[in-house]
């Protein structure tokens, strides 16, 4: 365990160390270096050379966006972790007006029944302390021993839902796998996905909540579980204000494709590539008034040929049209962040599918919905250092680079981890319609990096983009690549966190 905790420091280089190493490497690439015995440089003799200076670029650190929880602003000093502030939120919804979730609890046979009930009661207490529009039953509606093996676990879940058709349920699964990976997880998730049931797994292997060594740590984890239950159910615990120049309602769209690692095929007796999975997440924001905001989200997955990243025009069209019919709303604008795409590929097909899906909205559209289509590139070689060799802080934006139009491309540091050198994401504004020209895309992108429900801090890409990644990975690891997920039943639910 101690080694695992030290891995971030062992496997990464802090900015000062990396900066010094770059200077050392540069000696091997400078002209004339091949003639100096001490440097041992060879590459310049082969025509590979490096200038004797680093590129200096202008950068600005954007301020933390205005974050709101239950109508109360989160102080800027909590910008790196606002979980303590979220825990104080009170939505003041009367219990009679709240949706009562029936908790279905499966627990591993190595966890005692009494311990399982005790941990469930704590989670229920934390969920209900928010006084939100969803409340979890104080006692489990159904309590089931899931055995000690993956096979018993899967069979118990299958038996229960084969006969139960209860509505408004939330499934809690207390697992304790023998190994780090839970073999039953993707199978159980697939079964629940087919029925449209929202669920939350709690690992007693990662931390033994039945016998906690540190009560505070267990409490912190269980409070995080409570937040996830609410957010999966459709409660938006916090949000960031958006630029006033953005026409509302707006549809935020996130797209990513997951390429599942090859797996061994018993019949073919060799490793074969599984299908890839594309995920599209649509989040509708109707107005800028936080007090009246409710989460409206629709997501869908599409099975692709293994390794196929593109050919998504029909997927865009189907997802956008279904989502907007579900919301019963025609947006005034749409901003799409596409993850994982590289330079020089088929943007036009995806933009065409995006426009077609937006055109199929409820009612007769008077004019086309204005769009912005932005790609997010994480696998890049660029890193930015401060002049003193330190790492660029979160919110660092770099756009003023020679030969780059700041309105078409910018780099943005979403995170600055303490044990490694921060790496920016490159954002390319491929398409932006006329009415969105005044929208500060970098500011909007930075704000949306702060509203991912699974992390009380900023992330590397906008919220919907990370959601799409999470959903694509979940579906990609299912045996049917997500084909059986009932996406319509999951409307307005963030079931894939």
How would you list the strands of the sheet with 297-304, edge to edge? 58-61, 396-400, 409-412, 425-432, 370-377, 333-339, 250-258, 276-285, 297-304
pLDDT tens column, 102-117: 999 999 999 999 999 9
Q: Which two tokens stand for residue 441?
A: 């895309």
The arithmetic mean of pLDDT across residues 296-307, rounded, is 93
Confidence check: pLDDT of 150 > 50: yes
Confidence check: pLDDT of 304 > 50: yes
* Mean pLDDT lowest among 33-37, 62-66, 446-450: 33-37
Q: Which residue has the higher pLDDT, 348 or 21?
A: 348
Confidence bin at 178 (pLDDT 50/70/90): confident
pLDDT tens column, 7-33: 555 556 777 777 777 777 766 666 555
Neighbour-count burial for 57-79, b at 16+ CB within 10 Å, e otherwise = eebeebebbebbbbeeebeeebb
Q: Which residue has the higher pLDDT, 89 or 448?
A: 448
3-state per-residue secondary structure call for the chain: CHHHHHHHHHHCCCHHHHHHHHHHHHCCCCCCHHHCCCCCCCHHHHCCCCCCCCCCCEEEECCCCCEEECCEECCHHHCCCCHHHHCCCCCCCCHHHCEEEEEEEEECCCCCHHHHHHHHHHHHHHHHCCCCCEEECCCCCEEEECCCCHHHHHHHHHHHHHHCCCCCEEEEEEECCCCCCCCCHHHHHHHHHHHCCEEEEEECCCCCCCCCCCHHHHHHHHHHHHHHHHHHHCCCCCEECCCCCCCCCEEEEEEEEECCCCEEECCCCEEECCCEEEEEEEEEECCCCHHHCCCCEEEEEEEECCCCCCCCHHHHHHHHHHHHHHHCCCCCEEEEEEECCCCCCCHHHHHHHHHHHHHCCCCCCCCCCEEEEEEEECCCCCCCECCCCCECCCCEEEEECCCCCCCCEEEECCCCCCCCCCCCEEEEEEEECHHHCCCCHHHHHHHHCCCCCCCCCCCCCCHHHHHHHHHHHHHHCCCCCCCCCCHHHHCCCCCCC
The arithmetic mean of pLDDT across residues 406-418, rounded, is 82
Confidence bin at 159 (pLDDT 50/70/90): very high
> What are the Cα distances from residue 37, in Å, to 32, 42, 47, 50, 51?
11, 10, 18, 18, 20
Round to whole Å and give the CA distance between 303 and 278. 6
Q: Which two tokens stand for residue 137?
A: 């039953």
Q: Virtual CA dihedral for 379, 380, 386, 391, nearest 10 degrees?
A: 20
Confidence bin at 196 (pLDDT 50/70/90): very high
Q: What is the per-residue pLDDT for 221?
A: 93
Confidence bin at 74 (pLDDT 50/70/90): confident
Q: What is the per-residue pLDDT for 382?
A: 82
pLDDT tens column, 414-464: 887 777 778 899 999 999 999 999 999 999 999 999 999 988 889 999 999
Say if CB 483 and CB 474 are below 8 A apart. no
* Residue that is written with structure tokens 């998504």 in the block: 312
Which percentage of the chain shows pLDDT scores above 90?
Answer: 55
Confidence bin at 1 (pLDDT 50/70/90): very low
Which percentage of the chain shows pLDDT scores above 70?
Answer: 87
The arithmetic mean of pLDDT across residues 463-492, rounded, is 95
pLDDT tens column, 386-404: 887 778 888 899 886 766 6
265 C-beta neighbours (distance < 10 Å), count: 12
Q: What is the per-residue pLDDT for 287?
A: 84
Q: What is the per-residue pLDDT for 57?
A: 84
Average pLDDT, the chain: 86
pTM exceeding 0.85: yes
Q: Which two tokens stand for residue 305?
A: 């040929």
């Amino acid at each position: 365990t101690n080694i695992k905790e030290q891995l971030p420091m062992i496997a990464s280089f802090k900015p000062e160390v990396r900066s010094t190493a770059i200077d050392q490497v540069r000696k091997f690439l400078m002209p004339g270096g091949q003639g100096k015995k001490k440097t041992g440089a060879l590459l310049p003799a082969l025509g590979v050379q490096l200038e004797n200076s680093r590129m200096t670029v202008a950068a600005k650190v954007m301020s933390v966006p205005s974050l709101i929880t239950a109508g109360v602003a989160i102080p800027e000093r909590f910008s790196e972790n606002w979980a303590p502030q979220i825990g104080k939120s009170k939505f003041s919804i009367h219990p009679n007006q709240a949706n009562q979730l029936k908790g279905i609890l499966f627990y591993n046979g190595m966890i005692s029944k009494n311990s399982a009930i005790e941990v469930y009661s704590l989670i229920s207490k934390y969920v209900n302390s928010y006084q939100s529009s969803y409340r979890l039953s104080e006692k489990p509606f159904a309590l089931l021993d899931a055995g000690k093996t993956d096979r018993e676990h899967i069979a118990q879940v299958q038996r229960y839902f084969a006969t139960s058709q209860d509505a408004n349920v939330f499934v809690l699964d207390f697992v304790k796998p023998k190994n780090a990976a839970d073999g039953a997880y993707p199978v159980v998730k697939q079964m629940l996905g087919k029925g449209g049931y929202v669920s939350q797994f709690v690992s007693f292997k990662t931390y033994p909540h039945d016998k906690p060594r540190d009560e505070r740590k267990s409490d912190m984890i269980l409070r995080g579980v409570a937040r996830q239950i609410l957010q999966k159910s459709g409660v938006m615990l916090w949000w960031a204000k958006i630029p006033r120049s953005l026409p509302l309602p707006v549809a935020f769209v996130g797209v990513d494709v997951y390429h599942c690692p090859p797996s061994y095929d018993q019949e073919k007796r060799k490793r074969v590539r599984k299908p890839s999975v594309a995920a599209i997440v649509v989040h509708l924001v109707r107005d800028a008034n936080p007090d009246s905001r409710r989460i409206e989200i629709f997501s869908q997955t599409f099975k692709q040929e293994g390794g196929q990243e593109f050919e998504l025009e029909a997927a865009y069209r189907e997802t956008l049209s279904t989502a907007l019919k579900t919301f019963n709303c025609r947006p005034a604008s749409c901003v799409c962040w596409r993850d994982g795409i590289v330079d020089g590929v088929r943007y036009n097909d995806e933009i065409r599918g995006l426009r077609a899906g937006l055109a199929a909205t409820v009612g007769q559209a008077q004019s086309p919905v204005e769009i912005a289509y932005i790609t997010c590139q994480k696998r890049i070689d660029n890193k930015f250092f401060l002049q003193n060799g330190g790492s660029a802080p979160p919110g660092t934006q770099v756009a003023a680079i020679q030969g780059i139009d700041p309105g078409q491309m910018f780099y943005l540091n979403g995170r600055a981890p303490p044990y490694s050198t921060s790496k920016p994401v490159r954002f390319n504004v491929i398409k932006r319609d006329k009415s969105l020209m005044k929208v500060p895309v970098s500011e909007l992108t930075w704000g949306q990096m702060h509203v991912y429900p699974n992390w009380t801090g900023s992330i590397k890409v906008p919220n919907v983009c990370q959601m799409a990644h999470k959903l694509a990975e979940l579906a990609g690891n299912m045996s049917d690549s997500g084909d059986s997920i009932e996406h319509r039943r999951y409307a307005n639910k963030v079931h894939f966190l």
